[in-house]
Amino acid sequence: MAIADISTRPAEPTAAPVSTFGGLPAVYGEGMAELMEWVDEIAALTTPDRIHWIDGSRAENDALLREMVAEGKLIKLNPEWRPGSYLARSHPSDVARTEGRTFIASEKEEDAGPTNNWAAPDAIRATITPLFAGSMKGRTMYVVPFSMGAVGGPLSHIGVQITDSAYAVASIGIMTRVGSDVLGEIAQGAPWVKTVHSVGAPLAPGQEDVAWPCNDEKYIVHFPDTLEVWSYGSGYGGNAILAKKCFALRIASVIGRDEGWLAEHMLLIRVISPEGKAYHVAAAFPSACGKTNLAMLRPTIPGWRVETLGDDIAWLRPGEDGRLWAINPEAGFFGVAPGTGESTNVAAVETLWGNTIFTNVALRPDGDVWWEGLTDTPPAQLTDWEGNPWTPASGRPAAHPNSRFTVAAAQCPQIAPDWDAPEGVPLDAILFGGRRATNVPLVVEATDWTHGVFMGSNISSERTAAAEGTVGELRRDPFAMLPFCGYNMADYFGHWLKVGQKLRFDRAPRIFQVNWFRKGDDGRFLWPGFGDNARVIDWIIRRVEGSVGAVESAVGRLPRTSDLNLEGISVPEADLDELFSINTESWMRETQLTEEFYQTFDGKVPAALWAELAALRYRLQRV
């Protein structure tokens, strides 16, 4: 059967069948009846020529990829250099998340909060429904059942995406668990999230398709009250792979609020000491703050190892044992290519040996790919991300700054053997970090859970380097969740506090803030970073163990520099002092910025966080 063969509904079975019929899954139950009714409803609206239920098989995926190559939508890379890999080139207008066209359609505007674009549900449905009407004409409508986390796992959740993009189908197949076993869960009554995606490019009879169909008009609408996502017009990244940011963060954060857990924009790693003891760390960093590098860290300290559990999203749930348990709900990495190289993240480069979909990177004459940062010296000749000839003298990037790779997590050479264990791992530490040239120390420990939530609520990066030692304009990104929280962020702060109350005080993960990016007055970074960040992790682990002390400061607990393992690197004493210096005047100005930020939430910021702000000011005044 060809990938595009139309599905037709089989007769109602009198017993559980063991085969498929016309592309429909041979899975029956009350949950399947609801799913089929929904699929029929979306098909009636979007009027596709064909319907294909994705079964997740290797043969099906291979057929899908071959079809995209034949249609000119993918370029097959040289199997000698990059086996099983492909290059996609998007339309130049469709290269990133469309945050300005992303909406939270909650019943009450206050539930979306000031950091989200709110839309009234009925009004936005009236706007987008006509756009979806007939939007899949001439195309195949794919039905993709997927699981975030191991199928049937205690921390997992299920979704179904309807899409007319084969590129999205192939990407979802890498990023999630797709297949008939997911339908089995739905048939047995497991709840599922509805996600609908169309590139918004219907085809008239005989009309030739383009390599990257999309529409200038774009919407991504989340309905948290009914657990739905509708995305129109874009074929790119998280706009099309709705299991990722849309479900795994925006919708999942709402589910987590209602069920008592947290959906977080966090990496997840296992740190193994020279003695062989394992610790689990989750970390939330905004973009361009070293998140992927930490997720695949290769320590420069002899004896220490890091195993990767996840690079982008973690779901955290209080356990009956009083600890906080975490899973990576994804099955793949959707990473930014530029800046990923052997000098910055060799593990990521090694992960991309094959079976990878690259998007908007450059193509080498030998059929391999390249992007800025992959090697120190660019090749002499390339084809850039738009398909034009490129040389180092071209004066423009060869790869788009937001070019991507999509690859299975299992290919990472340092992936943990149990990275997809259904029950997850118990957390020992949580890190928050931003890109700060001033003020924020290299590492500071929160005094307790509430203080840690206060730290997370104030994560920010400076828009410009403030080498003169003053606080520059700050780009706020609390918990690295500003674009991804599906409800009012002040309520989200409160939910973090509630989750902390469910944990045993002696088993809750310790919370730290880190900053690899502090600069001296001369503008240079004071800390070497990359693999040497393991030296900070080393101190954090020893704090968790209780084997080293700390120095109390106005902003939290700081390391004694003598307790940092600096063997093998040279960090001048003056730089170490600056890395942990607390400028009272500058920090007082920062507390004013925090107050102004909290005031944007119209009185909804929890009183406990206002109390933390007042306590910080009191401590600063006593310095």
- 8 A C-beta contact, residue 329 and residue 348: no
Instruction: Examine the pLDDT at 133 and tell me if it is beyond 70.
Output: yes
210-242 tens-digit pLDDT: 999 999 999 999 999 999 999 999 999 999 999
- pLDDT (mean) for 139-147: 97
| Residues above pLDDT 90, as percent of the chain | 89
Looking up residue 37, the CATH number of its domain turns out to be 3.40.449.10
Q: What's the rounded Cα separation, in Å, for the pair 471 and 379?
A: 40
What are the tokens at 213?
């169909």
499-543 tens-digit pLDDT: 999 999 999 999 999 999 999 999 999 999 989 999 999 999 999
What is the strand order of the sheet 314-318 is part of?
262-264, 314-318, 324-327, 425-426
387 shares a domain with 269: no
Give ∠ CA 409-411-414 in degrees, rounded to 5: 85
Residue 516, pLDDT score: 96
Q: What's the rounded Cα separation, in Å, for the pair 213 and 207?
A: 13
Residue 303, pLDDT score: 94
611 shares a domain with 507: yes
Q: What's the rounded Cα separation, in Å, for the pair 271 and 304?
A: 7
Band (463; pLDDT cuts 50, 70, 90)? low
Full domain range(s) for residue 283: 264-329+422-622
Q: Any idea which residues carry the catalytic annotation? A: 289
Residue 181, pLDDT score: 93
Q: What's the rounded Cα separation, in Å, for the pair 548 and 560?
A: 9
SS3 content of the chain, % helix, strand, coil (to 5): 30, 20, 50
276-327 tens-digit pLDDT: 999 999 999 988 788 889 999 999 999 999 999 999 999 999 999 999 999 9
Instruction: Examine the pLDDT at 204 and tell me if it is beyond 80.
Output: yes
198 shares a domain with 103: yes
Q: How many domains does the chain have?
A: 3
Instruction: Examine the pLDDT at 31 and tell me if it is beyond 70.
Output: yes
229 shares a domain with 217: yes
The DSSP secondary structure of 314-351, one letter per residue, reads: EEEEE-TTSSEEEE---SEEEEE-TT-STTT-HHHHHH
pTM (predicted TM-score):
0.94
Among 86, 81, 83, 58, CA closest to 70 = 86
Instruction: Examine the pLDDT at 588 and tell me if it is beyond 80.
Output: yes
- 8 A C-beta contact, residue 371 and residue 436: no
Say if 594 falls within a structural domain: yes
Band (357; pLDDT cuts 50, 70, 90)? very high
575 shares a domain with 472: yes
Looking up residue 386, the CATH number of its domain turns out to be 2.170.8.10
What are the tokens at 224?
């948290």
Lowest mean pLDDT across 21-30, 183-192, 250-259, 343-352? 21-30
Say if 6 falls within a structural domain: no
431 shares a domain with 352: no
Q: What's the rounded Cα separation, in Å, for the pair 264 and 495?
A: 12
Residue 287, pLDDT score: 80
269 shares a domain with 131: no
Band (16; pLDDT cuts 50, 70, 90)? very low
- 8 A C-beta contact, residue 141 and residue 51: yes
